[in-house]
Amino acid sequence: MIFASFEFVFLFLPVYFTLYFLTPAKWRNWPVLILSWLFYAWWRVDFLALLVGVTVFTFAVARLMDASGVESRRGKHLFLLGILGNLSVLGYFKYANFGVATLNDLMAGLGFRPMGWNEILLPIGLSFYVLQSVSYLIDLRRGVVPVSRSFVQYATYKAIFSQLIAGPIVRYAEIAPDLQERKHSLALFGAGARRFMIGFAMKTILADTLSPMVDAIFALPAPTLVESWTGAIAYTLQLFFDFAGYSAMAIGLALMCGFHFPQNFNHPYLSGNIQDFWNRWHMTLGRFLRDYLYISMGGNRRGPIRTYFNLFMTMVIGGLWHGANWTFILWGVWHGGMLALHRYWKNLGFRPIPYIIANPILMLCIVLGWVTFRAPTIHSTFGMYAGMLGLNGTGFTDAIAWQITPDQLWTMAIAAVLVYWPVLTARTPLARPPEENGWALRAAWTVAPMLGFVLGLILLYSRAAVPFLYFQF
């Protein structure tokens, strides 16, 4: 079940909100927990046991750490047990297939028979809820949060359905007060509903319309100049509106129930440099990589060379977190290299490049990076790059021309305008808060998300639901 589906909008949500608001306030974590587990079990009942097992294991380790003293020798051993236990689960389900395939390729190259192996299915959302466990244990070790003494509260934090599958990566400290007591109001519910409808429209109207074109172009063995650039730009827009749309829906659904999730996107394609981009794109992952990897490796405290290395390795690990494939490692190398180069540029004392030049340069680098993020193999990645250089011809070929429709091209144009909307409207009343404008703009601020939601439902009725791109991570 995904948010952009009829069974979610017209079946799960009505049941969820009915049971939630009929439950007395002090017991409302129970329906959130139970219905979130049922939401997860809709996909695979057996993997619900893994989610519950990780939750129980981490909760128990944290309680034992607290009882022993986090600074004691036993507390440190328990901390390592908790971290290694969670990472072992992630490593087995996410990277075992990749490891065996790489080993078999090496053995075949040396003339040995490959080992037999049954492919392991990756549980949906595993990467996200394991990162939550890791952040909770590290924050407990650092004294940032007190240990949770209520299993229901901790399990609810892990299971809240709106962030369970693809984030945002919420830290326990950020919603611990909401887990104990939440405030509800029509205004809060309305703000959450508006956020959900905007995300729904981003996903169904923009991202899903571009999906068939992106899939068709990235499946070509030798895309031409026009095809490869069209596919790369379309994917750049699709990925943003798909994932930012999911995050908006997740944050909105949480707000409707009184949970305050952190922001996950802040107009990342308007950035003027790669550091600013990572302060705006998938912000909760960026914070995780910074606070738990980069700083733990020494950050910028051990001289410039070590700083460049730490930046580079943080992004390589971040790329590997996204998926067990050499394409994601290459994407991490690309972004790590850009971050290190940006820091080197700053250390040389050069003035920042003017925004009107810096943003197009950055976006070119981002688009090139998204190619390897989307391509299924390294070979197809460089096939796309060859096409972008014009080595496979120029115009649309017959194999792809019939698959690209005018509505997809119009959607690309509209999506690009919406990306740069804050810049285009910076000096107009559209940039002001709604309460500072007249009644017409205030009405549009309220009605537009509803119209987008209705149009999204109409489009959803006319085609199959498209899974969120980040479900695969």
Give the CA-trace dihedral at 433, 435, 437, 439, to 10 degrees. 140
Structure tokens at 157: 């934090």
Instruction: Give me the DSSP letters along 330-391.
Output: HHHHHHHHHHHHHHHHHHTTPPPPPHHHHHHHHHHHHHHHHHHHH-SSHHHHHHHHHHHTTB
What distance in Å separates the CA atoms of residue 419 and residue 400, rounded to the nearest whole number?
Answer: 26
Instruction: Give me the DSSP letters along 155-182.
Output: HHHHH-HHHHTT-----HHHHHHHHH--
Q: How many CA atoms lie within 13 A of 241 on its CB side?
A: 29
322 catalytic? Reply is yes
What distance in Å separates the CA atoms of residue 424 and residue 242, rounded to the nearest whole number?
Answer: 22
How far is the CA of 253 from the CAs of 18, 131, 174, 380, in angstroms?
Answer: 14, 21, 16, 38
Q: Is the distance from CB of 230 to CB of 438 less than 8 angstroms?
A: no
Structure tokens at 333: 């190398």
What distance in Å separates the CA atoms of residue 87 and residue 90, rounded to the nearest whole number?
Answer: 5
What distance in Å separates the CA atoms of residue 311 and residue 307, rounded to the nearest whole number?
Answer: 6
Q: At what angle do helices 73-109 and 45-68 cross, to 10 degrees?
A: 140
Start-to-end CA span in the chain (Å): 16
What distance in Å separates the CA atoms of residue 365 and residue 433, rounded to the nearest whole number?
Answer: 33
Instruction: From the candidates 184, 267, 282, 322, give the one annotated as an active-site residue.
Output: 322
What distance in Å separates the CA atoms of residue 386 and residue 197, rounded to the nearest whole number?
Answer: 40
What distance in Å separates the CA atoms of residue 196 and residue 449, rounded to the nearest whole number?
Answer: 9
Question: Which active-site residues does the annotation give?
Answer: 322
